[in-house]
Structure 1
């Protein structure tokens, strides 16, 4: 997501003539203006290929489940831990 945001900011800066990007032209520097978008596509492809996004989603679900269990244990007044 960061690559897309950076790319949008770069394109807007070039379009409105702000900063050093004002001197870039689409005819000569198109690859520099589109590089963040290409990096975003590469990042998403890598995340999907390696299962990174699925692992993050599973970890988030596990944290929610553990928090829900802990809340239920606290509501019942039980101590969390092993048996004595």
Structure 2
């Protein structure tokens, strides 16, 4: 996502002719977009994206279970 943000920022700087970026050739702006596409392709192919989604869902599930146990008074047992 950072690469996409950088790509859009550079493209906006070129489009609005800001600073030295205005003098760069247009094909330089294709490189960050290409790297972004390559990253997304690799992330989907390798299972990285799915693994991150599963980790996030597991963390939400664990916090929801802990919150409900606490609400029901079934939290960790303490010795007296």
Please give the range of the TM-score, normalised by the shorter of the 2 chains.
Answer: 0.7 to 0.9
Matched, 1:52 2:59: no
Return 5+ residue gaps in structure 1 as ranges: none
Q: Displacement, 1:21?
A: 0.6
Q: 1:61 aligns with which of 52, 57, 60?
A: 57
TM-score, scaled relative to structure 1: 0.83
Q: 2:32 aligns with which of 6, 30, 36?
A: 36
The alignment's C-alpha RMSD in Å is 1.3
Q: What CA distance in whole angstroms lies between the structure 1 residues aligned with 2:38 and 2:62?
A: 34
Q: Which runs of 4+ in 1 moved over 6 A?
A: none
Give the aligned length: 77
Q: What CA distance in whole angstroms lies between the structure 1 residues aligned with 2:57 and 2:22?
A: 45
